[in-house]
Each structure stands twice: as structure tokens, then as C-alpha cells.
Amino acid sequence: MPPLKKLRGLLLLPLALLAGCDMVLFNASGDIARQQGQLIVVSTVLMLLIIVPVIGLTIYFAWRYRQTNKEANYSPDWDHSTELELAIWGAPLLIIIALGAITWISTHTLDPYRPLRRIEPGRPVPSEVKPLTVEVVALDWKWLFIYPEQGIATVNELAAPIDRPIVFKITASSVMNSFFIPALAGQIYAMPGMETKLNAVINKPGDFEGFSANYSGAGFSGMRFRFHGVSEPDFEAWVQKSKTAGGALTRAAYLELERPSERDPVRRFASVEPDLYHAIVNRCVDRNKMCMEQMMAIDADGGLGKVGAYNVSPRPWQPDASIPPRTYVTAMCSVNDPAGLSLPLSTARIREE
């Protein structure tokens, strides 16, 4: 094969490899993801305005001033050119200013916490449209989606009506993870004991892939789910399907679901215990555990102290008649306390009463 044909084949190889790709990031079905794709293209073109001329001039100078070219001017005493200085410093400076302006604008307009102002270009969000709220929990190694308004929950399956804003509230059960639907919007981290948010909208019906974009352990590679963009009637039918085909997601059921497992099939729950997501975020699904917000409230009031620890030790933090009281502290003393000086638990209960 002639050398020119070999070179042409090598240059066309990347295009052949990309021909089978979906290119979802540059052909997204959601307005937020589409804007992010355009931002990538614009930033890349601006940077290429510097990179391409530099590479081209480097090749040109290497060829033009090669040792065997006796026709090139040889100027060993040359040391300065105002025109070259302006070109060398001015062009990159303009590119940096343009990138900085684009970054500042996009950082605010594409802030994941910012409520949507439009459904797509030229279509503002109607004032009467209420966003769909979805509570997302990254488990080991599966995804739990809770629909508080519809009263249902699903595992490894998500659906939303097209052209309706979606508010995702995202957390994790154990380690940090990342929630990512490329066709919808950028990835958002999911962290235990914290809540992150994502505002997005899907504009085209379809079946899209979602997955974990942050390594989280042995089952990370199978931590994938399907996201369905459907019409409003189809979404209502999907909700009714979950209501008829699922069980109840109680606290006990969640604690069982929370156990690590890999490549779980789709599961549906017809009902969800109230405030379950709130308990997940506060790390107190088990009623015998104190919620993080309660811990912070105690710390804000100056802490418990010795007597305070006795007063709260015998009671469950989330009272439930079906759960017997659990004692956390039985005595308070130190190695330097004289024998018999520690406060007995019975006295603490008397003080509590």
C-alpha cells in the first residue's frame, strides 16, 4: 500500500471508531445536557484557535528553517519583534477572557441547584406547571428512586414526563457515589449524610441509560438503571403499574434493601413510609439511632454533659410503641473517680422524670 494511502487510513480511523458511538453528550434529549454539550463544543473551538496555529507554525518553522534550506534567512542577532509579541500574548489573552466569560455565565445559568426557567429555547416554564420531585438514594450497588408525591418507589428504574421540570434530591447510604444520566444533565455527587440537588428536564421521549460515575466498590460496574422519558398519560400509567405490582417500602424493608447486592433487577414499591428519605439523609432509619439533625441541635445547645447523657440514654430517639427502649449509657465515670461516685442510672431516670 502506498504511504499516502496508509496515512489517509490512519487519519480516518478515529472517525470510523466514532461512527458507532451514540454521541449522547452532543445530541442530548434534555435541555440542560444539550447546553452542556454546546459548552464543550464552544470551549474546544476557542482552544483550537490557539492550538491549531501553534502546531501548524511549529511544523512550518521546522521545515522552513531546516539546516539544508540555504534560501532561508539566517539572523542570529535577531531578538525582538513588537508584532510577534502582540500576536503571542494578545491572542491567548483574548481566548482566556472569552473562556472566563463563558465559564462565569454557564456556572450560574447551569447551576444544578437553580430552578429551571425554560423547558427548551424559546419555551419558558409555565407558571402552572409543578416540578416532579424524585428522591434518589445511591445504595450498594443499586439505585433507589422515591416519588414522594406519587407515594411509590422503584429500584434501578426511573421515569419522568417530557417537558416537565424534575427536581432530584440526591443522597447515598454508605460511600460517595455519582448520579449521571448523560441524555438529561451532568453528573451530581451523592454523599451519605448530605443532600445534593439537580434540576433538569427531558424534552424527547425515549429510553436512556443512567449509571454511577464514581467508583464505589466491587459492584460499581453493574450499578446501572434505565430512565424513561414518557408522555404525561404514560407516566401516570407507569405510576399505577408500580402501585399495583409493588409491596411496601417500610423502614425495615429499606434496611433489608440497603444490604450490598449486585446487578439487582427492577423492583417496585406501591407505598413508601412517610419521612423515609428524611431518615436516610439523617442516618437514622433505625429508630434506635439518633438523627444527625438531633445531634447537631444538641451540639448547638452546648452538648449533653454527664447528667444530660444519663437523661437521654434509656429512650429511643424516634419513639415507637413496637420497639422496646434501648439503653445506650449505663454508667458515667473515669479512672480517677472514687469508688461509688458515679451517678447510677436510676437516679438519671428520676432526674429525667
Walking along the chain (353 residues) 10 residues at a time, the average pLDDT comes out as 54 49 75 89 89 90 85 78 85 89 89 92 90 95 95 95 95 93 92 94 93 89 94 94 88 94 93 93 90 82 61 58 55 54 42 37
pTM reported for the whole predicted model: 0.76
What percent of the chain clears pLDDT 70, i.e. is strictly above it?
78
Residues 6+ apart with CB under 8 A from 134: 145, 146, 147, 158, 160, 166, 167, 168, 169
Residues 6+ apart with CB under 8 A from 288: 316, 317, 318, 323, 326
Distance CA 331, CA 310 (A): 8
Report how many helices (DSSP H) and strands (DSSP E) the chain contains, helices first: 9, 14
The domain segmentation of the chain, as residue ranges, is 16-66+81-109, 123-281, 292-352
Is it true that domain 123-281 has CATH number 2.60.40.420? yes
Distance CA 163, CA 119 (A): 6
